[in-house]
Structure 1
């Protein structure tokens, strides 16, 4: 894709970062009520066993699940920007900066909402990605964005409060735009492999369970993610 094509993409038409952070800050400040309906959740994250991460239960567990994914995506985009591929165009670099900013906002949203119920800042293993290669970086970005969207699609039914579902739905819509944008850079169909082609939900976006998502990101998480206490329906 040419630099001019990237520049005219939806990412280049989003609000400037300063305004975006200001709006996001207000959203986080106003979202402390999201967990109001989660007060009865019995299990917070369990960090007592080295090398494992127990996300907890109920809505808190589901939010920690989303928080982990946002940490992963934000860390990935930051690593790309720390040393971008030499064949990245200036427009692609600017777009990845916006992607990073979005993921940081999502990550900080969950951190603020969860407070002391949140998981800690995690460290990830990106050694399977060649950050000097545009193709490798874009392929990894596709994986993270596609898995992220499918994870949000599968998490909605696990929540018990409308406020929480509403906030996650807003983030999911942004992640879906990210996924489409990365596929556009790769000159791939925005629908192949991410839209169900059979069954009762034909035409709907793919949804993954937490177990499927944890398996998909396992090589990037040098710790065991425990999801046993998450709701299943």
Structure 2
């Protein structure tokens, strides 16, 4: 697999500073995502596409597999928050609903970034299953959002050790920090002060991490599309 040269890495990382600034409007993010993703696509272009097999969608190998893994999770989250925003009478207050729209826009931006970066190496759109979620219930929405955000944070934490390219690792660090902000907000909406309790932060002050296999097993009830772990870095 082709690796970035140091100068290419630096150019990509400098571009991502502005790209992933949480203060940017979603429209601006998406405008620059294509340009920022071009650097990532240099690596993608050097890898053989082999995303499908008889056991379901194959994410790929090496860093491409990890990027597709992250793309799959962002698809799930974006679909969930899109449904929340589109459902009337959710029980959320107007202020809470506005926050969920912001989170939706973040997740859509993350999803589109990975899609643009991976280009023809990207997996297809996943079919989700939200039949167990009551989108008209505030409690159901918050509980699901908490589960998805905590899972997302642990997924990025766990994937860090599997990423070979430093540019990807920095990008993952920027995205997981946004996911952690989401998780903290959702937790405090449920129970004020629970944003960093012992269920997610250990005695060393470290957040939980999960392997791709653990994460996809937890997410499986919400994803109809079969996803294969074949070739994906794991531990």
TM-score (normalised: structure 2): 0.84
**8 A contact 2:57–2:228 mirrored in 1:** yes
Q: How far 1:68 sits from its partner (Å)?
A: 0.3
Alignment partner, residue 231 of structure 2: 229
Secondary structure of 1:113's counterpart equals helix
Residue number among 191, 195, 210 corresponding to 1:190 in the alignment? 195
Change (3 A) 1:175 1:155: same
Q: How far 1:42 sits from its partner (Å)?
A: 4.9
Moved more, 106-115 or 160-169: 160-169
Residue number among 63, 82, 104 corresponding to 1:100 in the alignment? 104
Map 1:38-57 → 2, pairs under 5 A: 41-42=47-48, 44-46=50-52, 48-49=53-54, 52-57=56-61
Residue number among 175, 179, 184 corresponding to 2:183 in the alignment? 179
Secondary structure of 1:93's counterpart equals helix
**8 A contact 1:37–1:161 mirrored in 2:** no
Alignment partner, residue 75 of structure 1: 79
Change (3 A) 1:15 1:42: closer
Moved more, 52-61 or 37-46: 37-46
**8 A contact 2:213–2:229 mirrored in 1:** yes
Alignment partner, residue 145 of structure 2: 141
Q: How far 1:132 sits from its partner (Å)?
A: 1.1
Q: How far 1:131 sits from its partner (Å)?
A: 0.8
Change (3 A) 1:159 1:35: farther
Secondary structure of 1:25's counterpart equals helix
Q: How far 1:147 sits from its partner (Å)?
A: 0.2
Alignment partner, residue 209 of structure 1: 211
Secondary structure of 1:217's counterpart equals helix
Which structure 2 segments of 5+ residues have no match?
A: 1-21
State the distance in 2 between where 1:86 and 1:170 align.
Answer: 30
Moved more, 218-227 or 106-115: 218-227
Q: Aligned pairs, how many?
A: 212
Superposed CA deviations along residues 113-138 of structure 1, whole A, max 9, x for unmatched, are 00000001111000011111100000
Residue number among 33, 42, 55 corresponding to 1:36 in the alignment? 42
**8 A contact 1:73–1:144 mirrored in 2:** yes
Secondary structure of 2:180's counterpart equals helix
Q: How far 1:89 sits from its partner (Å)?
A: 0.8
State the distance in 2 between where 1:56 and 1:62 align.
Answer: 8
Secondary structure of 1:203's counterpart equals coil
Which structure 1 segments of 5+ residues have no match?
A: 1-13
